[in-house]
Amino acid sequence: MSRSKPADADTARADFAELPIRRYPGSVTADRCWALRHDRNGHDAAYIALPELLDAPLLTGDAKPIGAHHAAVEVVPG
């Protein structure tokens, strides 16, 4: 495992602090998560349900969420 240089870590922390992050309560996606219960575990369903609701892409490093749902999934190399 490689370690970040302190300057790179500081830059990453500063960039993260500038992200316009919005939080959504679980109740917003609960029905869709329940509908996905036969194909997905709870974590994957939650990651899929919110982008569907927001009509936004799901950016992930994990190809597992790809499948039958309405979210546009873009797998980002890790």
Strands 58-60 and 73-75: parallel
Q: Where does the pLDDT of residue 28 fall: very low under 50, low under 70, confident under 90, or very high at 90 and above?
A: very high
For residue 17, what pLDDT band results from cuts at 50, 70 and 90?
very high
Concatenated DSSP letters of 53-74: HHT--EEES-STT-SSSSS-EE
Q: Give dist(CA 1, CA 13) in Å, integer.
A: 19
- Total domains in the chain come to 1
Label residue 5 by pLDDT band (50, 70, 90): confident
Confirm whether 16 is domain-assigned. no
Q: Is the pLDDT of residue 68 over 70?
A: no
Q: Give the model's pLDDT for residue 11.
A: 93
53 closest CA partner among 19, 27, 17, 16 = 27
Q: Taking 90 as the threshold, does the pLDDT of residue 34 lie above it?
A: yes
Q: What is the span of the domain harbouring residue 63? A: 25-78
Average pLDDT, stretch 7-14?
90
Asked, for residue 59, whether it belongs to a domain, the answer is yes
Residue 50 in any domain: the answer is yes
